[in-house]
Structure 1
Amino acid sequence: MAGKRCLKGVDIMKLRFLGACREVGRSALLLDDNVMLDYGIKMGEPPEYPVNGVRPEVVLLSHCHIDHSGLLPNLMDIEPEVFMTPPTADLANLLLKDSLKIAESTGVNAPYDAGDLHTFMYKTKTVDYRIKFQTHGYNVEFYDAGHIPGAACTHVTSKSGESLLYTGDINTSDTRLVSGAVEFPNADYLAIESTYFSKEHIPRKETEETFIESLKSTLDIGGNVIIPAFAIGRTQELLMLLDAYGIRPYVDGMGKEAYEIMMKHPSYLRNPTHLKRAFDNAISVKSSRRDDVPLESSVIVTTSGMLNGGPSMYYLNKLYDDPKSKMMLTGYQVEGTNGRMAMDTGIIENNGVLQQLRLKLEQYDFSAHAGDKELKAIVKDFCDRGTKAVFTMHGDNTEGFATWIEEEIGVQAYAPVIGEKFDLH
């Protein structure tokens, strides 16, 4: 267990970092021993969990992705209050149900059961962006994080009067699906994700054009294109992109259900009309009819985005040995996942069988995270407005980010290790 550090401040706020420390995944930050900011899982074999044994009275969920939400039902025996935005509540329910279903079907011991999930749904209270609320003496407000529909930066003012802004996953640039984050409050302390620190994104338009050109070149020679995509956020954006270029894809997996949920919350979308048109024009594939998909100049958008199961593995089993076909990865591939192994070695594990990929493999940066320039601008903006210390989380180089903040901005910055505690007084 890591030790405790004391920072000089006016009042006392206690932070304990339970996950997403010098790594991507299992986000979990405990405030004053009783407010939990996210409680996720790090995907891999086996999955990794945050520090346990905590008993928060309040849980504030930034967004639905499993690396932020995946372990929350495990806390339901202590019946905390749970808050999130309306889309996050519906999308988290979808993802957590699916995770439990997969665990049960594969004989894996899940960290929660159906009863925990029911309690989670029952205890959840939904709050829109920019609506102030109170819980157990804390003042809380959600701000649009620009990551996926419903994703929130969480602003908490403690009983001592000190304030913390926890970004969760953040993006200040527009995507086809959502607008970038534009407005942030003042905060005494900032806990910021660091996924793309020191890595700059290629401009989105350039990425889209390169992606479409490569895809069309494969279709022109009679090959097929498999596009593994995260069910929430990436699938919807990619279908909008393909529709804009007149390409009609097949869509398989949970991305369709996520789309239906998103359409119930149109105010959280940048262009719900285009999103609807994109899904109306796509060809939906039922699990029982996958054999009907013609594997000749077809484009298939399907889960899972990191190749850890899902329909993508069905299509890969059909096409892995076809040099005319192509798999186009569109998201970050966490270490320990099938997608990372494919990128590093050209091999995947498919139902216990190792397969050498002869189809072409490409990766594109369709990230919904702020890049290096944007992360630095966010930190500078907060520090210019009086932020006293910054904590870098959720990245492979959080230490480098903290060093940059101290050297370039002159504000205290820390890259916590798992379990590390800070008394801000």
Structure 2
Amino acid sequence: MKLEFHGADQNVTGSCHLLEAAGKKLLIDCGLYQGSRELDEENAEPFGFDPASIDYLLLTHAHLDHCGRIPLLVKQGFTGEIITTAASCELARVVLLDSAKLMEDEADYKTKKAARHGKKEPIKPLYNVVDALNCFGFFGRSVQYNQPVIINEGIQATFIDAGHILGSASIVLDIEHKGRQHRILFSGDLGYNDRAIIKDPETPPQADIVVMETTYGDRLHKPLEPTLEEFYAAIRGTLAKGGNVIIPSFALERAQEMLYYLREGIEQSLLPSYLPVFLDSPMAISATQIFQRHPECFDKETSATLTSGRDPFMFPGLHFSRETADSMAINQFVGGAVIIAGSGMCTGGRVKHHLKHNLWRRDNAIIFVGFAAYGTLARQIVDGAKEVKIFGEEIPVNASIYTIGGFSAHADQAELLAWHQKTGNPKTTFLVHGDKDAMPVFANKLQNTRVEIPALHQRYNLEEWL
């Protein structure tokens, strides 16, 4: 048995792990690197393995940094089966089509810009919409939580609820090797208890080897109650000044959480009864509709809201801005609106346009409700930049900036430690999906296990680690 690491190794994006066992090659996730230009260029680098040699791809969830290179994988020769949950399958289609369209648009923009400088060679996207459509034919079995699936002779997979986003899973692999049974557990991205909408992460089983995320391995989250108080206060304060509130948001889970909490704030009279809210993200709109089709993933509170006849994501004043013209019209609101737009790290999408129109105004506020990786526009603003470059133009940062970390979809250090303790005393724990500074902090907290922090493309013979 061999385990290789080809993404999210000592960084927080691009998850991609390769397990060779029982004569087959299994890829766990195939994500896109997100952030700076250097990471964008890294997406075009070789995978570190031959895509045509992969027999199965097991997808933990549909965030772009876990599924975003699947069209490229297929484009370069993958013909195996992609296995994931039904909700993740639906969400991945929306995410990958959106990603492909953004790549096409960016390539067209760069080609036109280069042409003005006499360069005639067209710039090609990493993949296009046709490539994205082609990869959907390789999505095979949809699995249910806690229902073991025979991947191949000697390999059984069980997906358990990771509580991160709709359909997210940790993957338990039971493998027969040389007459002995071994269990390898991939955490995927882990959520935390008592989040809105979806169920809590399930208790993991004991395992011989654990591969786990460490996004917030060096810190604790703010409790939810003060987080919501700060969120509502920031909105009220901005509205009182006549300003707009811009919320850069990931289209999956975070956008739906924002709608959920805005509805609760209105119903509890913590926000104005008729608050203009624009969900300006075609992908987030489609994702919200997918959420509405998967109530089996909801927690008790959200299920109770549905049972009472209310939609947990709808309220008076909410506008879906799917078309470009609708998005542009939002700029006519010079004060008094909440605008939720993608992307959460401000690396693309419509939020950059809204930042260009609102970031320079002192009456406005930008509320960041998620993780911002190094090198991203969001991180520059969060770190206190006085001005930032958007579409080639230097924009002053005059708006009030709020960073509200309690909404994170990732488990914090305490929750990650609690999750790991439930896996028993694994012989080896591989840490992935974390900043270089955070991973050693978390590694030092782990007990009764050998800890490895793999580098990109590092390979391990598991027989030496079991």
TM value normalised by structure 2: 0.84
2:297 corresponds to which of 268, 278, 287: 268
- Map 1:212-291 onto structure 2 (within 5 A): 212-246=232-266, 247=271, 248=275, 249-253=277-281, 254-270=283-299, 271=302, 273=305, 276-281=311-316, 282-285=318-321, 286-291=323-328
Q: Tell me, what secondary structure is at the counterpart of 1:378? A: helix
Pair 1:306-2:342 in alignment: no
More deviation, 348-357/319-328: 348-357
2:127 corresponds to which of 112, 116, 125: 112
Give the structure 2 partner of residue 7 of structure 1.
none
Call closer, same or farther: CA 1:296–1:113 in 2, change over 3 Å. Answer: closer
Which consecutive aligned stretches of 4+ in structure 1 deviate over 6 angstroms post-superposition? none
Give the structure 2 partner of residue 3 of structure 1.
none
Give the structure 2 partner of residue 413 of structure 1.
451
Distance 1:290 1:25 in 2: 28
* Cα distance, 1:58 vs structure 2: 0.6
2:58 corresponds to which of 57, 60, 68: 60
1:269-313 CA-to-partner distances (Å, cap 9, x unmatched) read 231546834335322224212344322211111111111222212
Q: Tell me, what secondary structure is at the counterpart of 1:134? A: strand
1:158 corresponds to which of 175, 179, 198: 175
* Cα distance, 1:403 vs structure 2: 3.0
The RMSD of aligned alpha carbons is: 1.8
Pair 1:37-2:28 in alignment: yes
* Cα distance, 1:342 vs structure 2: 1.7
Q: What amino acid is the match of 1:279?
A: M
Distance 1:289 1:143 in 2: 40
More deviation, 182-191/160-169: 182-191
More deviation, 335-344/146-155: 335-344
Distance 1:244 1:350 in 2: 34
Distance 1:73 1:158 in 2: 28
Give the structure 2 partner of residue 144 of structure 1.
161
Call closer, same or farther: CA 1:317–1:78 in 2, change over 3 Å. Answer: closer
Q: Tell me, what secondary structure is at the counterpart of 2:370? A: coil
* Cα distance, 1:115 vs structure 2: 4.4
Pair 1:171-2:191 in alignment: yes
1:308-336 CA-to-partner distances (Å, cap 9, x unmatched) read 22221222222122101101011111112
- Map 1:46-125 onto structure 2 (within 5 A): 46=37, 47=40, 48-49=42-43, 51-54=47-50, 55-76=53-74, 77-107=77-107, 109-125=124-140
Distance 2:360 2:335 in 1: 14
Give the structure 1 partner of residue 434 of structure 2.
395
Q: Is the 8 A contact 1:146 1:174 kept in 2?
A: no
Distance 1:197 1:291 in 2: 40
Q: What amino acid is the match of 2:314?
A: F
Structure 1: gaps of 5 or more residues: 1-12
Call closer, same or farther: CA 1:338–1:192 in 2, change over 3 Å. Answer: same
Q: Tell me, what secondary structure is at the counterpart of 2:410? A: coil
Instruction: Using the aligned pairs only, state the percent identity.
Output: 28
Distance 1:52 1:112 in 2: 18
Q: What amino acid is the match of 2:278?
A: Y
Q: What amino acid is the match of 1:211?
A: F
Distance 1:157 1:367 in 2: 31
Distance 1:112 1:140 in 2: 30
* Cα distance, 1:371 vs structure 2: 0.5
Give the structure 1 partner of residue 145 of structure 2.
129
Distance 1:80 1:399 in 2: 36
Q: Is the 8 A contact 1:145 1:169 kept in 2?
A: yes
1:315 corresponds to which of 354, 358, 382: 354
Q: What amino acid is the match of 2:451?
A: A
**Larger RCO, structures 1/2 (Cα 8 Å, 6+ apart):** 1
Number of residue pairs aligned between Structure 1 and Structure 2: 408
Distance 2:279 2:455 in 1: 40
Q: Is the 8 A contact 2:211 2:430 kept in 1?
A: yes
- Map 1:343-358 onto structure 2 (within 5 A): 343-344=382-383, 345-358=385-398
Q: Is the 8 A contact 1:399 1:414 kept in 2?
A: no
Q: Is the 8 A contact 1:149 1:268 kept in 2?
A: yes
More deviation, 389-398/324-333: 389-398
* Cα distance, 1:400 vs structure 2: 2.9
Distance 1:400 1:266 in 2: 38
More deviation, 134-143/101-110: 101-110
TM value normalised by structure 1: 0.91
Distance 1:306 1:113 in 2: 22
